[in-house]
Structure 1
Amino acid sequence: MNRYPRIAVLGATGAVGQEFIRLFEERNFKFSSLKLLASARSAGKKISVCGKEYVVEEAKPESFEDVDIALFAGGNISKVLAPEAVKRGAVVIDNSSSFRMDPEVPLVIPEINPEDILWNKGIIANPNCSTIIMLMALKPIHDLSRIKRIVVSTYQAVSGAGKEGIDELYNETAAIAKGEHYEPTILPSASLPIHYQIAYNVIPQIDIFLDDDYTKEEMKMVNETHKILHDDSIGITPTAVRVPVVRSHAESIYIETEDVLSVDAVKEAIKNFPGAELVDDVENMKYPMPLDTSDKTDVAVGRIRKDLVSPNGINLWVSGDQIRKGAALNTLQIAEYMIEHDIIK
Structure 2
Amino acid sequence: MPIGRTFNVVGAHCAGEVCDVVVGGVLDVPGKTMYEKMRHLWTKADGLRNLLMNEPRGSSAMCVNLVLPPTNPEANAGFVIMEHEEYPPMSGANTIATATVLLETGMVPMQEPITNLTLDAPAGLVKVTAECESGKCKFVEFQNVPAFVFGLDIEVSVSGFDQPIKVDVAWGGMIYTLVDASSVGLDINSANGRQLVDIGERIKKAVQEQTDFVHPENPGIRGVTVLEFTGSLKDEGSYKSALNTVVVSPSRLDRSPCGTSTCARLAVLHKRGLLRENEPLHHIGIVGTKFIGHVRGTTKVGEYDAVIPSVKGSAWITAFKQVILHPTDPFPEGFRIGDKWNV
Higher-Rg structure is 1
User: Per residue, is there more helix in 1 or in 2?
Assistant: 1
Larger RCO (CA within 8 A; separation ≥ 6): 2
What TM-score does the superposition give when structure 2 sets the normalisation length?
0.32
What TM-score does the superposition give when structure 1 sets the normalisation length?
0.32
User: Per residue, is there more strand in 1 or in 2?
Assistant: 2
